[in-house]
Structure 1
Amino acid sequence: MEDIEDLLIGSRNASPQGFRLPLAAAVGVGSKRNQLSCSSPSSAIPGTQSIYIKTFGCSHNQSDSEYMAGQLTAFGYSLSDNPEQADLWLINTCTVKSPSQSAMDTIITKGKSSNKPLVVAGCVPQGSRDLKELEGISIVGVQQIDRVVEIVEETLKGHEVRLLTRKKLPSLDLPKVRKNKFVEILPINVGCLGACTYCKTKHARGHLGSYTIDSLVGRVKSVISEGVKEIWLSSEDTGAYGRDIGVNLPTLLNSLVAELPADASTMLRIGMTNPPYILEHLKEIAEILRHPCVYSFLHVPVQSGSDTILSAMNREYTVSEFRTVVDTLTELVPEMQIATDIICGFPGETDEDFVQTINLIKEYKFPQVHISQFYPRPGTPAARMKKVPSNVVKRRSRELTAVFESFTPYSGMEGKVERIWITDIASDGVHLVGHTKGYIQVLVLAANHMLGTSAMVKITSVGRWSVFGEVIETVHHVSDNKAPNKLVPNQDTPSLCGNPAKSGGFSEEPESCACGNDICCDQGTLVPQNQSERNFIGWMLRKWEHQERKIDREVASESVKKQEGSMKRWDFVDKVLLGGVSISILTIISLVAALMYRIVWAQ
C-alpha cells in the first residue's frame, strides 16, 4: 500500500494542504473489496455525511481531534455523538499504554462488524503502520491532520488510503471545533529530544519540532477574541520547546503572557515538562508561574524514585535534580501545585527501588499522581528487558495508590476565599467546575450563565479530589485590557459569554488516572449536559434535589448537627425563594378564607 504523499511528490498540480484532491486518480490507492453502498443520491455527495470521532490519549490528541473536526465541518460534514447513526468513524489513537491500544482494537473490530467506513489517526498508525489490526483501513498521520478531509472523502468512496509521510507541522490557523468552547488546547511543539527506553510516542511524534513564537502569539490573540478563557499549552515535552529553532520556553511564555488580558479573564496553563530541560530555566519559569494570568501549576513526571531505574529508563536526570525542580518552584511560587507520574514495575525494579519511590511520594504528598503499571511497547528497548512478574507489578501499583489516596492535600482550605475561573459542568450534572490560581478544582452550585466567568468563592468543604465552594460574587472584567490587573467585583454582572453551545460529535477516552477520578487528570473528562438543563429553573431544581439528597444522607448517618448547619448555610437566593414560597402560601390561604367567608355571608 502506497502513501498518498508519496504519489504526490514532485507534482506541481498537487492540491494545497486542507483542500480536496482531484478525483480518485490522484489518490493512487486500491479500492476495498466491499464497496460502500449508497442508500440515497445525497450519500455520494461529499460533505453531506455525518462523522463520529473517538479520541484516546492526551490533550495533544484532543487538540488534533478538534482540528480535524473543524476541517470536516468547514467542508459540510456533521459531527455525530451516536456511532451507530454516523456514516464514518474517525478514531484518534494513543500508543502510550497497552490498554489504550486494546480499546482501539475493540472499536475497530466493532466498526468492521458494523460495516462502517473507518479512518484511524494518531500515534498508533504513525508509529506502527504495519499492525495487522490496521489492514484494510484508511490511516492519517499525526502531522497530516490538515489532510483529513481528503482521507474521509476517499474512504467514503470505498477506497483504502494512507497518508503518513511527514512534511511540516500543520498550521495552527486551521478550523477547529473545541470540545469545550472556553478551553483552547494549543500545541507548541511536537516530538521530543529524549529517548526513553519505554516510550513508543517518540516513534510516532518523532524528533522535536517547534512552532514559531510569532505563530503561537497569533493563535493566542485569535482564540482570546473568540471568547476562550483557558489556554492549555500542550506538547510531548514543554520544557524542550524552541531548542530546534534557537529560542527557549521562557522567551515563548513571556511573549504569550504579554497578550493575555490584564484583568486575568483568560488564564494560561503550562503543559507537561520533563525535568532535564526546565532545570536551567527554573527562576524564569517561577516568575512566569507567579503572573496573575498563569496558573501556578505544573506537571513534572518523575516516573521513579530510584536513580537506578531512571538510568534504565534513560530519563536523563536524577532524583536529586527532580527534587531541585519541585523545591525551587514550591519555594518561589505561592500556592504552587505540582503533579507527577510514576511507572510501577519497570524491568529491573527491585523492592528497594520501589521503596525509594514510595518514600519520595510520601515526602512530597503530591496532590495529583498518575500511576501506571509498566506495559512493554513493541519496538522499544524496554520491551526486551527482563520483566518484573505481573503479580508484583499489580501489588506495587495497589500499594502506591493506597499511599497516594491517604493524603488530604486540601485540608485547611475551609473558610478561605479564592478566585476561580469557571469553564465546565461537572459529571454529576449539578455543579459547575472552576479552578483556583493553583489549579485546584472547585465545585460550585451556580447558574449556568456563569460558565466562562470568574468568581470569588468561599471554600465550604474539602474532598479528596476537589473542594466545594460557595459563590460570593462574580468578578467584573474591566474593558481596558491595557490597564493594570484590577478586579472589580459585581455580583449582579451577567456573564459576557452567554450559554455555551453543546460540543457534539466527540467521544474521548483518556488515560486512566491513578486517583480513580478522571477529573484530577491532565486530560479532563467532565461531561457537558444537555442544553435543556442549562437554564436557571433547571439549575434550581438540581440544587434543591442536591440539598435534599445531602440532608437525607446526613439523617441516615444521624448527623443532626450537620443537617442543622447545612440549613444555616443556605445562601441569600435560597432564603429569598423560601420567603417567596411562604408568602405565596399565606396569600393563597388568605384568598381561600376570604372566598369562604363571602360564600357563608351570602347564604
Structure 2
Amino acid sequence: MARYHIETYGCTSNRGESRSIESALRDAGHYRVDGPKEADVSILNSCTVVEKTERNMLRRAEELDEQTADLIVTGCMALAQSEEFQQADIDAQVLHWDDVPEAVTNGECPTPGPGTEPVLDGVVGILPIARGCMSNCSYCITKQATGRIDSPSVEENVEKARALVHAGAKELRVTGQDTGVYGWDEGERKLPELLDRICDIDGEFRVRVGMANPGGVHGIREELADVFARNEKLYDFLHAPVQSGSDEVLAEMRRQHRVDKFLDIVETFDDTLDHWTLSTDFIVGFPTETEADHEQSMALFREVRPEKVNVTRFSKRPGTDAAEMKGLGGQTKKDRSKAMSELKHEVVAEAYEELIGTTREVLVVEEGTGDSVKCRDSAYRQIIVQNADEHGLEPGDFAEVEVTSHQTVYAFGTPV
C-alpha cells in the first residue's frame, strides 16, 4: 500500500487522465495524501502547450524531486519531451498515463471492475471519450504524446456516463483532444449518436461538449446541431478553434479546415439554435502571419463574435515543423495579441450586457469566492450568485435567476 500525491496541469482531458489513475490506485489499496512530503510517490501529470508552461513543469518537477521519495512524471510533456527531464537531472520515472498505476503498485496491475465508484470533481463528472486526434498541425507538440484517435465504443462511454450520473454528477463534461473525430478510427462519425445516447440517461443533469476541431465538425455540422436542438440536457455551447482568419496561415499550420468551413459551422448552428455560445481559439504571431493575415483574423472575430475566446501568442515547440520557421519579433506578437484581446473584451462584454434583465435557468456547478456560487445557463454562460447560503443554493441545484449586472466575462444574478 502506497501513499501518493498527484498534481495535474493543463486541459480537462488531462484532469480526466488523472482521475483514471486515481481510480486505479484506490482500487489497488493506495491512498492520497495532502502533499509530496507525506507521500511515498508523487505523480506530476504535465502539460506542454506553450514554452512558459514547459519551464513551469520543469521547475515543479525539480521541487517534487527534492520533496518526495519517488517521482513519476506523465502527461503531454513527459510523452513528447521526456529528454527535457533527463537533461535537467531530475530523478523521475517518465511514463505514459496508462503505465502509472502499475508503476506505483510495483508491477501489480490493478484491474478495476464494473462496480468501481466514478470519480467526481464536486458535481462535475469528467468523461474522456477518446484519446488522440486525426490532425497533424505543424505547431502542435501534444500529438507526439497522444497519437492518433483511439475511440472506445459508444456503449462503453454511455456506461461510464451513466455511472457518473448515478454517482451524483449534475454536469458531464465530454472531453478529448478532439471530440469531433470520435469514431473516425473505426471509419464512423459517432459523436452525434453518443450525445443522443448520453442525453437519454435518466436523471436531471447537463452535458458540455469539449473541444472539437472545425475539420471534424464540418462533416457532421447539421446532424450535430440537430442533436443540440432536440436535447435540453446539452448545453448549447460549441468549442471549435479556428486559430486564424487567413487561409494561407491555416495551410501553413496544416489545419484540416479553411475559413469557409468554420463559417459553415457557425451558420448552421445560428440557423438551428435560438441561443448558443460559440467558443473558439486564435493563435496570433504564427511565423508566416503577415499584417494582412492578422487583419483577416480580426475581421473574422468581428463577424462571428464568439462569446468565449482563447487568444494565444505563438511559441515554438521543440520537434514541431513550425519550430524550424523563422519567427516574428516579440513586439509584433505582443501588439497583435493586445489588439485581439481588447476586441475579445469588447465582444464578450457586449454579450453579457445583453443578458441583463433576462431570467435564466441555471445549474449551480461549484462554489465561488466567499459566499457565492458559480452557475451555468443553457448556453454555458457563467452567472455568479452571491449570498448563496441566504438563497439556499449549493452545487448541484437548479434555479431561476434574473441577471442583474456583469463583469465582462461573467454575469451576476439573483434567484427569483
Q: TM-score, normalised by structure 2?
A: 0.92
Give 1:395 shift.
Answer: 1.7
* Cross-structure match for 1:237: 178
Q: Which amino acid is 2:71 matched to?
A: L
* Cross-structure match for 2:395: 451
- Flag the 1:134–1:320 CA change in 2: closer, same or farther, 3 A: farther
- Flag the 1:274–1:406 CA change in 2: closer, same or farther, 3 A: same
1:284 aligns with 2:239: no
Aligned-partner SS, 1:244: helix
* Cross-structure match for 2:341: 401
Q: How does 1:439-478 map to 2 (within 5 A)?
A: 439-445=380-386, 446-447=388-389, 450-472=394-416
Q: How does 1:525-564 map to 2 (within 5 A)?
A: none
Range with bigger deviation, 119-128 or 74-83: 74-83
1:217 aligns with 2:158: yes
1:370 aligns with 2:310: yes
1:123 aligns with 2:76: yes
* Cross-structure match for 1:191: 132
Give 1:224 shift.
Answer: 1.3
Give 1:462 shift.
Answer: 2.1
- Flag the 1:119–1:453 CA change in 2: closer, same or farther, 3 A: same
1:336 aligns with 2:294: no
1:152 aligns with 2:104: yes
Work out which of the residue numbers 414, 417, 420 in structure 1 matches 2:356: 414
Q: CA RMSD in A?
A: 2.2
Aligned-partner SS, 2:35: coil
* Cross-structure match for 1:257: 199
- Flag the 1:106–1:227 CA change in 2: closer, same or farther, 3 A: same
Residue by residue, what CA displacement relative to the aligned partner does 1:271-304 show, whole Å, maximum 9, x if unpaired?
1111112112112111111221100001000101
Give 1:317 shift.
Answer: 1.3
1:436 aligns with 2:377: yes
CA distance in structure 1 between the partners assigned to 2:313 and 2:69 by the alignment = 34
8 Å contact 1:66–1:176 — kept in the other structure? no
Residue by residue, what CA displacement relative to the aligned partner does 1:28-85 show, whole Å, maximum 9, x if unpaired?
xxxxxxxxxxxxxxxxxx33x2x22111111010011112122223333332333444
Q: Which amino acid is 1:90 matched to?
A: I
8 Å contact 1:125–1:134 — kept in the other structure? no
* Cross-structure match for 2:16: 63
CA distance in structure 1 between the partners assigned to 2:83 and 2:121 by the alignment = 34
Give 1:171 shift.
Answer: 8.2
Give 1:260 shift.
Answer: 4.5
8 Å contact 1:71–1:148 — kept in the other structure? no
- Flag the 1:179–1:225 CA change in 2: closer, same or farther, 3 A: closer
CA distance in structure 2 between the partners assigned to 1:376 and 1:187 by the alignment = 28
* Cross-structure match for 1:565: none
8 Å contact 1:71–1:174 — kept in the other structure? no
8 Å contact 1:67–1:174 — kept in the other structure? no
8 Å contact 1:342–1:371 — kept in the other structure? yes
- Flag the 1:376–1:171 CA change in 2: closer, same or farther, 3 A: farther
Give 1:116 shift.
Answer: 4.0
1:206 aligns with 2:159: no
1:315 aligns with 2:255: yes
Residue by residue, what CA displacement relative to the aligned partner does 1:377-418 show, whole Å, maximum 9, x if unpaired?
111110111111122112211221112112322112222111
* Cross-structure match for 2:44: 91
Gaps of 5+ in 1: 1-45, 155-160, 164-169, 473-603
Aligned-partner SS, 2:248: helix
Work out which of the residue numbers 292, 300, 305 in structure 2 matches 1:352: 292
8 Å contact 2:238–2:277 — kept in the other structure? yes
Q: Which amino acid is 1:180 matched to?
A: D
Aligned-partner SS, 1:130: helix
Q: How does 1:1-80 map to 2 (within 5 A)?
A: 46-47=1-2, 49=3, 51-80=4-33
1:103 aligns with 2:56: yes
Q: Which amino acid is 1:253 matched to?
A: L
* Cross-structure match for 2:365: 423
* Cross-structure match for 1:266: 205
Work out which of the residue numbers 264, 276, 294 in structure 2 matches 1:324: 264
Q: Which amino acid is 2:206 matched to?
A: M
- Flag the 1:179–1:389 CA change in 2: closer, same or farther, 3 A: farther
CA distance in structure 1 between the partners assigned to 2:39 and 2:28 by the alignment = 16
Residue by residue, what CA displacement relative to the aligned partner does 1:473-521 show, whole Å, maximum 9, x if unpaired?
xxxxxxxxxxxxxxxxxxxxxxxxxxxxxxxxxxxxxxxxxxxxxxxxx
1:139 aligns with 2:129: no
Q: Which amino acid is 2:22 matched to?
A: A
8 Å contact 2:48–2:76 — kept in the other structure? yes
Identity rate, percent: 29
CA distance in structure 1 between the partners assigned to 2:193 and 2:120 by the alignment = 29
Residue by residue, what CA displacement relative to the aligned partner does 1:284-327 show, whole Å, maximum 9, x if unpaired?
11111122110000100010111110000010211111111112
* Cross-structure match for 1:524: none
Aligned-partner SS, 2:300: helix
Give 1:467 shift.
Answer: 1.0
CA distance in structure 2 between the partners assigned to 1:149 and 1:185 by the alignment = 19
Aligned-partner SS, 2:185: coil
Aligned-partner SS, 1:209: coil
* Cross-structure match for 1:388: 328
CA distance in structure 1 between the partners assigned to 2:121 and 2:132 by the alignment = 25
Aligned-partner SS, 1:92: strand
- Flag the 1:201–1:367 CA change in 2: closer, same or farther, 3 A: same
Q: Which amino acid is 1:385 matched to?
A: M
Give 1:225 shift.
Answer: 1.1
> Which protein has the larger Cα radius of gyration, Structure 1 or Structure 2?
1
Q: Which amino acid is 2:30 matched to?
A: Y
Aligned-partner SS, 1:228: coil
1:302 aligns with 2:236: no
Give 1:343 shift.
Answer: 0.7
